[in-house]
Amino acid sequence: MDLYAQVLVSGLLLGGVYALISIGLNLIFGVVRIINFAHGEMVMLSMYLTFWLNYFFGLDPYLSALIVLPVMFAFGFLFQLFVVQPILSTSATMKIFTTVGISLLLQNLALIMWKGDFRSVQTSYSMSSIEVFEIIISVPRLVAFGAALASIIFLYCFLKYTYMGKALRAIVEDHSVARLMGVSVEKHYLFAFGLGTMFTALGGVLLVPFSSVFPTVGITYTLVAFVVVVLGGLGSMSGTFLAGLFIGVVESFGGTFVSPALKEAIYFAIFILVLLVRPQGLFGQGKGTEEVGLK
């Protein structure tokens, strides 16, 4: 019995990490409607930044968020301005090619600059865990889980109560109508990409205490983030959180009780089934938000 509880807890913690990585993508994917295949590379860049800040200045990974987050906001902003904006009116295939290209470019730049070594930051809490009723909870993963929850609540309030947030939601629903209503769509795109990249960077920073950094670390996260965002529904922050947890728990139970080799296959199968029944995702806003960025 306690094995089930332990597997559930591990799955939830893993899901928290997935949700954290996916929040930023939901903003970018949901608002700007671009399939950003370089998403994982943004995780990778933030992880490297955190690593080097620790390496050269001995900065604690959690503290380095104060530097990494603004830097990555600027990165996202500039990325939108110089890479995405010029190709915004082209076909979806074009956007895919561009972002896949950027993703490869960033991976190989990282390889040239920082080599293929697997780098880790050792902190006092890296491998610490607490035990509740004989269930082991990893501390850094718990922190990531908490950060995911906090980010979701923050973004939920932001999207619901601020003008900027309302404008972003309007763009998600229909960007042409939003433009007619006087929303400066391009300006909001810049902000959305910056904000999305910043939350992605938060994920990267919080991964560092328990995950190694290497040039191709982002690849796994790109895929899982897309699954989480589409499953949760575009524009729905709570959907992203719940979908993240769902994927984490499915992976954990599938891996433990079916086979570790099949854990990814199981959640992809469920993902396809959900899309067949509810194309807008489990918590999507309904009709019109089901198109997966392919206009």
Partner 1 sequence: MKKKVLIFGMSLLLLLTGATGVFSAEKLEIGALYPISGSLALLGEESWRGAEIARLMRNEAGGIAGKEIVFVKGDASTVSAARSEAERLIEQQKVPAILGTYSSSRCMAASEVAARKGVAYFELGAIANAITTRGYNTIWRTNPTAADFSKAQIAFITEWYAPKLGKKPSEMRVSIAHEDSDYGTSVADSFSKMAEGAGVKIVSVEPYAANTSDLSSVIFRLRKAKPDIVMAVSYANDAILLSRQAYELKLKAPILGTGGGHSLQSFVDALGKEANGVLNVDFTQYATNENFAPGLKAFLALYKKTFNENPRSGHSLANYMGANIVFDIIEKTGGSFDVQNIREAAMAMDVPAGKTPTGWGVKFGEDGQNVKAMPLVTQWRDGKLVTVWPEGAAVMEPMIDQ
Total residues interacting with partner 1, rule: CB under 8 A: 40
Nearer to partner 1 by Cβ, of 233 and 254: the residue is 254
Alpha carbons 146 and 216: distance in angstroms, whole number: 26
What is the b/e burial string over 64-78, where b = at least 16 CB atoms within 10 angstroms of the residue's CB? bbeebbeebbebbbe
Residue with tokens 């559930």: 8
Looking at residues 110 to 149 of the shown chain, list those that interact with partner 1 (rule: CB under 8 A): 111, 115-120, 122, 127, 129, 136, 138
Whether 270 and 283 have beta carbons less than 8 Å apart is answered as no
Binding residue (CB under 8 A) for partner 1 from 98, 103, 211, 236 = 211
Nearer to partner 1 by Cβ, of 33 and 141: the residue is 141
Among the residue ranges 2-10, 56-64, 81-89, 174-182, the one whose residues contact partner 1 (CB under 8 A): 2-10
CB of 192 to partner 1, least distance (A): 26
Nearer to partner 1 by Cβ, of 131 and 277: the residue is 131
Nearer to partner 1 by Cβ, of 12 and 172: the residue is 12
**Beta bridge partner(s), residue 131:** 136
Nearer to partner 1 by Cβ, of 13 and 28: the residue is 13
Per CB under 8 A, 50 contacts partner 1? no
Binding characters for partner 1, 237-256, by CB under 8 A (x = yes)? --------------xx-xxx
Nearer to partner 1 by Cβ, of 14 and 195: the residue is 14
Alpha carbons 214 and 217: distance in angstroms, whole number: 5
Per CB under 8 A, 46 contacts partner 1? no
Per CB under 8 A, 157 contacts partner 1? no
Per CB under 8 A, 3 contacts partner 1? yes
Binding residue (CB under 8 A) for partner 1 from 86, 146, 260, 288 = 260
How many residues appear in the chain? 295
Per CB under 8 A, 264 contacts partner 1? yes
Binding characters for partner 1, 169-208, by CB under 8 A (x = yes)? ----------------------------------------
CB of 202 to partner 1, least distance (A): 17
Residues binding partner 1 (CB under 8 A): 3, 6-7, 10, 14, 17, 108, 111, 115-120, 122, 127, 129, 136, 138, 210-212, 214-217, 219-221, 224, 251-252, 254-256, 259-261, 263-264
